[in-house]
Amino acid sequence: MIRQLRKAFFSRAKRSRWWQRLRREFGIRDLHPAAGIDTLPVSGEYRSTGQDPQFRLKGFLPAGWYMVEVNMTLALGQADARFYLDTGDGESEEMSFALPVRSGKLAKRVLCVPAEAKMRFDPLASVGSFTIGHFRVVRVLEAFARPRVLRKLRNIHPRYRQSDTGERYRLSHYWSDYNALFEGSQQDSEGYARWIEKAERTLLPDGASHERISACWKSRPTFSILLPTFNTRESQLRDCLDSILAQTYPHWDLCVADDASTEPHVAKILAEYAQRDARIRVIVREHNGHICAASNTALSMAGQDFVVLLDHDDTLAANALFAVAQHLQSRPTAQILYSDEDKIDDDGHRFAPFFKPDWSPDLLYAQNYVCHLGIYRRELVTAVGGFRPGFEGSQDYDLLLRCVARVTDSRDIVHIPMVLYHWRASEGSTALGHDRKDYAAEAARRALQEHMDRHHPGVVMEVTRPGIYRPRWPVPAPPPLVSLIVPTRDGYDILRTCIESILQKTSYPNYEILIVDNQSTCPQTLAYMAEICADASRSGRVRLLQFDFPFNYSAINNFAAKEARGSILGLINNDVEVINADWLTEMVSHAVRPDIGCVGAKLYYPDRTIQHAGVVLGIGGVAGHSHKYLPGHADGYFGRLLAIHNVSAVTGAALLVRRAVFDLVGGLDQETLKVAFNDVDFCIKVRDAGFRNLWTPFAELFHHESKSRGTDETEDKRKRFALECEVMQERWGSALSRDPFYNPNLTLVREDYSLASHQSLVGGD
């Protein structure tokens, strides 16, 4: 009878809709493959067949707040999942929400559904297999969502460090900031396309603005573009030449040296373009001499202030030369300039943006990160003899190294943080991977070795993999004494692991360990410290110091530094564990270099994901660790995890520095930075004193710091942390928002080298 009455009042569709409004939770059973997904025989496993795999959620979501949870096993290790909402007007990027997912880890976020909507779930944006172990969309109250959103913002976003920020507003007032925390992780081509549309086009002035901007310029620098060609595909050659003609800055000429192309269309196209614009000049070489000879022919035609290097199948951004001229106004003595770059495929799609650091000598010794777009003062290039035959494939790397050696003021090497160059990614091009041209890697190694032999005798260059190189810097003879300072309070298990790993695994011969006991009471810890110091076989190697005052990390290390005998100091946490025997040799080889300040190591969590690979200033308002949580074997951002490179700061968990440098800057700040950020503050002081800090991947240790310990949540600890954040922000100001070894186009709310949000780039964050 009841069923008959229900049918009388409700149609089937209406009954379904009524039931949907009562539902509060959706799970895996409600997901149905819609496009680009094959279901594999293995239970629960799927395969994405393209770059846009899609699931549909059965039914619809009533308006309100939701918590979404996803746990996937991913063949690629990580992915950027995305939810799309259709409220009746169709799906759009504006109504989509990102959720970065690491394989095997639960990812969750709050989601706002503004009106009744259907949901689409895209698990990743590439081809690959995956398993969905957990999927849940559950409706929650705003009172539940608000504290979770605010906690996420306070932990990561600079604006929300003050505890009361956001409390007086509805959740919708800071919804865009919350979304930006997730959106920034998009590194796929789709995410980059969104970034180009929202950020790049806003930041780059259009042609109409150039006259207004350049009205106050004191000079109009001129450029000779060097373009060696050889059998270039017709479409690519036209794209290249068209990009030059499209330049919004007119003061250039194009020096084309065709290297005796055998394809008839090349000469025809070059003649056509030379007739169209008198600034285009062409020489056709009688014999094929390869890239260096052709480049020198082009160089012989150059007569402008600067030469610009351009490959025959690549393209320039329309404002490339204008941006270079604009930067020359603030640094008219510049000798070398370089820009950010990306790749472009044969369909004209841009992808893989490389946002580079400012001048970083140690990164240059590991890879040619300068590469494209490269601009050199013409007199400098001619002074070093132009391009050297025999270095084909890495001729620009060789030229750069020889030019850099002639630049006496590093400020005359200028980085332009804009994508001004589009590198063609086609078969046979190194844009698709350095293994496409194996000969280039050996040419680069030889160029680096010659540079080292000339300017840093004793350094031996090795190829770690094509495109990545390792300089082995010598350790003086006899090896200097290193004093490793290990503060501790109780913690027997971690302390023993730390000390024993140093003593048993370290191959470096000349070091001492200073255990600084900060009021330990654990009998087991006290007994171990007494035993290790009394051990005759380790006599003189380990000393015990007593620091009988309240915990103050800075004061403890300053105290121990005064007691240390070594000319090199090592700040070592008691929860690290040595992995490779030559870790200390590697760190010492850099610490003894006269231009180097602090040296940091590669630290892993116990599960071998990255805990520390250098510190980036500005992340979270003060500083954060780059590449955090990436798999330990990952290459990192454009190979950064494989390369010795300069950073603004390194963690004090494993830091080496010469005693003279430590004393010069006054050690650690024990008055106002007792617990947090003292290592970052110290590194910035060292950097400002004229030294370069660096990180090396060839010193590896575990850091048994817990991944899940969270932030300090007690009121006293929160206040102390907030106060130390304020100290750093007041002391270093704008330096925290412009790390020279990072890039302003990269995020300051995540630790993954992802793109900055549109709002942060235009001042909205």
Is there a contact between 458 and 474 (Cβ–Cβ < 8 Å)?
Answer: yes
Work out the average pLDDT over 90-108.
84
Task: Please tell me the predicted confidence (pLDDT) of residue 434.
Answer: 46
The pLDDT of residue 186 is above 70:
no
- Residue type at 253 in one-letter notation: D
Is there a contact between 561 and 655 (Cβ–Cβ < 8 Å)?
Answer: no
Work out the average pLDDT over 219-225.
96
Task: Please tell me the predicted confidence (pLDDT) of residue 18.
Answer: 45
Closest Cα to residue 114, out of 173, 165, 61?
Answer: 61
Task: Please tell me the predicted confidence (pLDDT) of residue 9.
Answer: 44
Work out the average pLDDT over 61-80.
85
Model confidence pLDDT, tens digit, residues 405-431: 999 999 999 999 999 999 998 654 544
The pLDDT of residue 127 is above 80:
no
**Residue 40's pLDDT band (cuts 50, 70, 90):** confident
Pick the CATH number of 482-761 from 2.60.120.10, 3.30.70.20, 3.30.390.30, 3.90.550.10: 3.90.550.10
Task: Characterise 418 by phi-psi region: left (phi > 0), alpha (psi -120 to 50), beta (else).
Answer: beta
Beta strands in 207-259 (DSSP E): 223-229, 252-258
* Tokens, residue 705: 């710091």
pTM of the model: 0.80
Pick the range with the lowest mean pLDDT from 432-441, 460-469, 518-527, 700-709.
432-441
Model confidence pLDDT, tens digit, residues 701-739: 999 975 444 444 567 777 788 888 889 989 998 888 899
Rounded Cα distance, 234 and 240, in Å: 10
For the stretch 303-318, what's the b/e string if a residue is b when 16 or more beta carbons lie within 10 angstroms of its beta carbon? Answer: ebbbbbbbbbbbbbbb
The pLDDT of residue 154 is above 90:
no
Q: Tell me, what DSSP letter sits at residue 200? A: I
Task: Please tell me the predicted confidence (pLDDT) of residue 366.
Answer: 97
- Is the pLDDT higher at 361 or at 540? 361
**Residue 143's pLDDT band (cuts 50, 70, 90):** confident
**Residue 172's pLDDT band (cuts 50, 70, 90):** low
Task: Please tell me the predicted confidence (pLDDT) of residue 181.
Answer: 72
- Is the pLDDT higher at 459 or at 733? 459
Task: Please tell me the predicted confidence (pLDDT) of residue 415.
Answer: 98
Task: Please tell me the predicted confidence (pLDDT) of residue 94.
Answer: 75
- Is the pLDDT higher at 195 or at 154? 195
Work out the average pLDDT over 738-750.
89
- Is the pLDDT higher at 710 or at 474? 474
The pLDDT of residue 190 is above 80:
no
Task: Please tell me the predicted confidence (pLDDT) of residue 711.
Answer: 45
Task: Please tell me the predicted confidence (pLDDT) of residue 197.
Answer: 81
Rounded Cα distance, 487 and 516, in Å: 4
Q: Is 696 helix (H, G, I), strand (E, B) or coil?
A: strand
Is there a contact between 644 and 560 (Cβ–Cβ < 8 Å)?
Answer: no
Task: Please tell me the predicted confidence (pLDDT) of residue 707.
Answer: 46
Is there a contact between 694 and 586 (Cβ–Cβ < 8 Å)?
Answer: no
* Tokens, residue 324: 């270079």
Task: Please tell me the predicted confidence (pLDDT) of residue 10.
Answer: 47
**Residue 536's pLDDT band (cuts 50, 70, 90):** low
Task: Please tell me the predicted confidence (pLDDT) of residue 163.
Answer: 47
- Is the pLDDT higher at 577 or at 112? 577
Q: Per-domain residue ranges for the chain?
A: 21-193, 219-432, 482-761
**Residue 5's pLDDT band (cuts 50, 70, 90):** very low
Task: Please tell me the predicted confidence (pLDDT) of residue 426.
Answer: 67
Structural class in CATH, domain 219-432: alpha beta
Model confidence pLDDT, tens digit, residues 600-638: 999 999 988 899 999 999 887 889 999 988 888 889 999
Do domains 21-193 and 482-761 share one topology? The answer is: no
- Is the pLDDT higher at 750 or at 171? 750
Task: Please tell me the predicted confidence (pLDDT) of residue 712.
Answer: 47
How many percent of the chain have pLDDT more than 70? 87
What residues pair up with 74 in beta bridges, in sequence order?
130
Dihedral (Cα; 667, 650, 696, 156), 10-degree rounding: 180
Residue 429, C-beta contacts closer than 8 angstroms, at least 6 positions apart: 313, 423, 436
The pLDDT of residue 2 is above 50:
no
Structural class in CATH, domain 21-193: mainly beta
Task: Please tell me the predicted confidence (pLDDT) of residue 429.
Answer: 52
Dihedral (Cα; 555, 687, 355, 51), 10-degree rounding: -20
Rounded Cα distance, 271 and 443, in Å: 34
Work out the average pLDDT over 31-52.
80
How many percent of the chain have pLDDT more than 90? 60
- Top-ranked range on mean pLDDT: pick from 142-151, 229-238, 535-544, 715-724: 229-238
How are beta strands 64-74 and 54-57 bridged, if at all? unpaired
* Tokens, residue 38: 């094959």
SS3 content of the chain, % helix, strand, coil (to 5): 35, 25, 35
Sign, Cα dihedral of 515, 650, 594, 583: positive
**Residue 21's pLDDT band (cuts 50, 70, 90):** low
Is there a contact between 613 and 641 (Cβ–Cβ < 8 Å)?
Answer: yes
Is there a contact between 140 and 746 (Cβ–Cβ < 8 Å)?
Answer: no
Helices (H), 302-364: 320-330, 361-364
**Residue 450's pLDDT band (cuts 50, 70, 90):** very high
* Tokens, residue 707: 């991944």
| Average pLDDT for the chain | 87
Residue 585 has φ and ψ, to the nearest 5°, of: -60, -45
* Tokens, residue 633: 């074997």
Task: Please tell me the predicted confidence (pLDDT) of residue 432.
Answer: 46
